[in-house]
Amino acid sequence: MSTVIAIGVGTVFLAAFLGGMTGFGYNLVSTPLLLLLGVEPASAVAINLAIAMVTRVAVVLRLGRYVRWRRALPMTAGSVPGLVLGAFVGGAIDPQGIRIVAGVLVLVVAPVLMVRKPKPGDKSPARYAMAGFAGGALGTTTSLNGVPVALTLAADARDQRSFIADLAVYFVLSNIFGLVVLGLRDGVASADLVLLAWWLPGALVANWLGTRLGQRIRPDVFRVATCVLVMAAGVATLVSA
């Protein structure tokens, strides 16, 4: 347990740092690495949702004036039924299967996020709701609830601050619902609370640093570096499954 805590501190710190820089990368990095570390899938999902939710609160407070509610609210509302569906599916799937799904999804999504070209213009509320539904279903199974919404928002080519702010609202509200759903399904494990207590302080610091430093790095350089790191984590997860 002590080894998991110690290595997990560094893992979560790195993931939160990258998440602060990109607005959505925390779960992409932390999920495969925590599974590789040996954390049970259900515990990794709950802890990741909690950390992502708490670290995004500060972002909402700081960038609240940039939130485009026409995007953020449909995504959040759409995520609720997805979270419930994901909780049922996640409870029935073998943990090894979840590791494989997480690894494959990360390997597929990382290069897409790197090369996708944004196009101007908001999408319909229904499209944002569908992205939220897909994110919710992934959230309570693999904690990768940011993948569909990040892809959808990235296609809008809006101000980067609005992109980060909309994602932050989504993560805070959707993750609260997700944690409630998981709590009703599994209860609250004391071991998970211990890990959360150890890992959350570093995640808060790393998220703050990442948010500050992200503005100083060329976007193209950062996308490539993040893609390589995330894909390496996905490969490691598949190898260990």
Instruction: Kindly list the domain boundaries of the chain, sorted by start residue.
Output: 2-240
Closest CA to 210 of 19, 3, 80, 6: 19
Q: Which range has the worst mean pLDDT, 55-69, 103-117, 165-179, 191-205? A: 103-117
Say if CB 202 and CB 9 are below 8 A apart. Answer: yes
CA distance 193 to 8: 14
* pLDDT for 98 beyond 90: no
Q: 35-47 pLDDT, tens per residue?
A: 888 888 889 999 9
**pLDDT band with cut points at 50, 70 and 90 for residue 225:** low
pTM of the model: 0.84
Q: 179-224 pLDDT, tens per residue?
A: 999 999 888 889 999 999 999 999 999 998 988 776 666 666 656 7
Higher-pLDDT residue of 105 and 207 is 207
* pLDDT for 156 beyond 70: no
* pLDDT for 158 beyond 60: no
| Whole-number pLDDT of residue 3 | 84
Q: Which range has the worst mean pLDDT, 85-94, 170-179, 203-212? A: 85-94
